[in-house]
Amino acid sequence: MSGRSHAASRLVVAAPYLWLLLFFLAPFAIVLRMALSDADTALPPYAPHFEGFATLREFLGKLDLENFRLLADDALYWDSYLQSLRLAGLTTLIALAIGYPLAYAMAAAPRHWRPVLLVLVVLPFWTSFLIRVYAWIGILRPDGLLDIVLGGLGLTDEPLRLLNTEAAVLIGMVYSYLPFMVLPLYAMLEKLDRSLLEAAADLGATPVTAFLTVTLPLSLPGILAGAALVFIPSVGEFVIPDLLGGPDTVMIGKVLWNEFFSNRDWPLASAVAIVLLVVLVLPLALLQRARQGREAQP
Amino acid sequence: MRKASPGSLRRAFQPWNDPAAKPLIEFRHVTKRFGGVTAVAEVSLSLYPREFFALLGPSGCGKTTLMRMLAGFETPDAGQILLGGTDITEMPPHLRPVNMMFQSYALFPHLSVADNIAYGLKRERLPRAEIAQRVAEMLALVKLDGLGKRRPDQLSGGQRQRVALARALAKRPKLLLLDEPMAALDRKLREATQFELMDLQSELGTTFMVVTHDQDEAMTMADRMAVMDHGRLVQIGPPDVIYEAPVNAYVASFVGDINVLEGHVVAVEGDLVRVETGITGMVELDEEAPALAIGASVLVGLRPEKLDLSHDEPPQPFNKVAGEIWDIGYLGDVTMVQVMVGGEGGWLVKVALTNRRRRAARPFAWEDKVWLSWDVEAGLVLKP
């Protein structure tokens, strides 16, 4: 390999790292530094300020973990974290329960149908996320579209009063994140070798056993990817609980918004964000390590 | 060199000629269509216990469909399939006492070699200890001892093939189906594996049915083979019969090399038929020809290895033609010579010469004027 192309290939490898450094690690450092600061009625609304390397020691001395201590002591934060995790977990399970059969049917459909089905899954993305969530208000509100249809069919006598409940938030989140579950599952199931299922049947497996012993384990990476893609944004979701949820639905995204915009407590909001990040990254990292460990096995 | 194993001695085994023999598998007028295409047409065929049967044909001839119907992956549109006298036409694959080795091997990538082999046994809910013992037996049978913990992607192509074979044999099926079993192996390994498979088959006594497009493979391994074309069985018989007495030009040219000449019958005297071909003049054939009419047009087939090549004109009155050497292909064991007969722009006739002596000077060269000749029993009368 010539020196020039060697340098070029290094540049190609370096580019994504540079991107991560510039747009992820640097902002993260800023947020972390803010989380360790104190709120202040100034502009910007936190202290201390960084005033050059000469006073670095003094600056570092003023940073502390007070915001994190506050988060740990106050039940409000604990509850909203737990509720966020619970709702995100439920969303993930429901999305999996709906998404798996959907992806399976898509992968089993005749070859010339698959692109059309794929477009149908992605189609909602062509409309703004906010507008789609907003549309659910019209469907779920008392005497809204859902009540009209169900009432018209004679299935319900009075309005369901779904809007501003946890159920509404779940419906909104499952609806919004379902494609993220379907797409990786479809990718996995579509490339599944059909002859493996024939081999299973040939060796005496009923269709159900063949599914449980062959299809399911082989689509596990797709399940994990889909679950991560649904779970992670669901935990921090702000728009959906804000529009569809009631006063009881306090998810951590909303708490963060309140701290930042209503209370103007930037440091505490930063601490909330960092804890959220740790809550999300830690299990993922462990999962990744477990997977690598399994692959490395002889 | 391969060591002769006791099981590899083939005794006279011809259950198909024994009217009392009970077939293991019977196809009765089986037809299968896909859309408007008839993949298998009116096939009737019997396989006997312990038989090694090969289905031979070009791709798209319906041989794979025929096999898949036996495994239960396709259902015939008409006709019946019987196993040991029981109708299994509609039986789902997981209930059939038939196992298949897939062309792609279809090994479960998420399971170890041992778990792959144990898969079918676990479905039978055999006790754990028995499964472990059978897996060990199978691993030993295919000479993969010690590799049970590996995953399929950590094996070579030849090893994967053995795992597939072990997995299919683990349930001790009455019939083992092998779909192009050697297709993914290189030539050396293929030859060795063919003989191993034959040893294994006679050792286990399982009936084998191999689907292949490779005539060498079919002829090496099979007790009997069937040649398929466009969904029909054209000829069924032992390899030597198929090769030496093909029923028509299709079988003759699909199995082995053959020179085919067009001609018409001039005389029939007992077993002796004379055909005028135009190119080679009069051809005399020793053929138990079924009532050939004088003047009927026929095809005469001549296998390359049954032709002689000489510089001098042979004394016999018929069965000879003069030509010029057009091409020589040295293959090591044999030399394939193409002789042009009938002058410039004439017909190319293939002749196979065995290279018996190591240091002999090559007797023929390009553009030599030569004579082709053959015995009366060399020629075949073929139905077009």
Q: Residue B382 pairs with which residues in a beta bridge?
A: B299
Size of interface A-B (CB pairs under 8 A): 60
Q: State what percent of residues in chain B have pLDDT above 70.
A: 95
Q: What are phi and psi of B256, to 5 degrees?
A: 85, 175
Q: State what percent of residues in chain B have pLDDT above 90.
A: 57
* pLDDT at residue B332 in the model: 87
**A112 SS3 class:** helix
* pLDDT at residue A294 in the model: 63
* Contact between residue A185 and residue A99 where contact means Cβ atoms under 8 Å apart: yes
pLDDT (tens digit per residue) in B111-158: 999 999 999 999 999 999 999 999 999 999 888 999 999 999 999 999
CB of A295 within 8 Å of a chain B CB? The answer is no
Q: What is the spatial distance between Cα A13 and Cα A61, in angstroms, rounded to a whole number?
A: 38
Of B94, B106, B123, Cβ closest to residue A196: B106
Long-range Cβ pairs for the range A187-195 (8 Å, 24+): A187/A222, A188/A103, A188/A218, A188/A219, A188/A221, A188/A222, A189/A103, A189/A104, A189/A106, A189/A107, A189/A215, A189/A219, A189/A222, A190/A106, A190/A107, A190/A114, A192/A107, A192/A218, A192/A219, A193/B104, A193/B106, A195/B102, A195/B104, A195/B106
Q: Where are the domains of chain B?
A: 6-97+173-250, 257-382
> Which runs of consecutive H residues, i.e. helices, occur in B2-112?
63-71
Q: What is the spatial distance between Cα A165 and Cα A296, in angstroms, rounded to a whole number?
A: 46
What is the average per-residue pLDDT within B92-96? 95
Q: State which fold the B6-97+173-250 domain adopts.
A: Rossmann fold (3.40.50)
Q: Which amino acid is at B34?
A: F
Higher pLDDT pick, A135 / B17: A135
ipTM (interface pTM) = 0.84
Q: Which of A31-35, B58-62, B285-289 has the lowest mean pLDDT?
A: B285-289
Question: What single-letter DSSP state applies at residue B53?
Answer: E
Asked whether the beta carbons of residue A203 and residue B171 sit closer than 8 angstroms, the reply is yes
pLDDT (tens digit per residue) in A59-80: 888 888 889 999 889 988 999 9
Chain A residues lying within 8 Å of B109, measured CB to CB = 218
The architecture (CATH level 2) of B257-382 comes to Beta Barrel (2.40)
Q: Which of A6-20, A68-82, A268-282 has the lowest mean pLDDT?
A: A6-20
Q: What is the spatial distance between Cα A85 and Cα A87, in angstroms, rounded to a whole number?
A: 6
Can you list the domains of chain A with their CATH numbers? 74-264 (1.10.3720.10)
Chain B residues lying within 8 Å of A196, measured CB to CB = 106, 108
Average pLDDT, chain B: 89
Of A198, A205, A213, Cβ closest to residue B73: A198
* pLDDT at residue B9 in the model: 47
Average pLDDT, chain A: 89
Tokens of A202: 């040939």
- CB contacts under 8 A, A 200-219 vs B, are 200-206, 209, 213-214, 217-218
CA distances for B16 relative to A53, B26, B258, angstroms: 98, 12, 28
Q: Do domains B6-97+173-250 and B257-382 have the same CATH topology?
A: no
* Contact between residue A71 and residue A275 where contact means Cβ atoms under 8 Å apart: yes
Q: State what percent of residues in chain A have pLDDT above 90.
A: 51
Of B106, B123, B171, Cβ closest to residue A198: B106
* Contact between residue A24 and residue A52 where contact means Cβ atoms under 8 Å apart: no
What is the average per-residue pLDDT within A266-289? 88
pLDDT score of B229 more than 60: yes
What is the signed CA dihedral for B321, B327, B331, B333, rounded to 10 degrees? 20
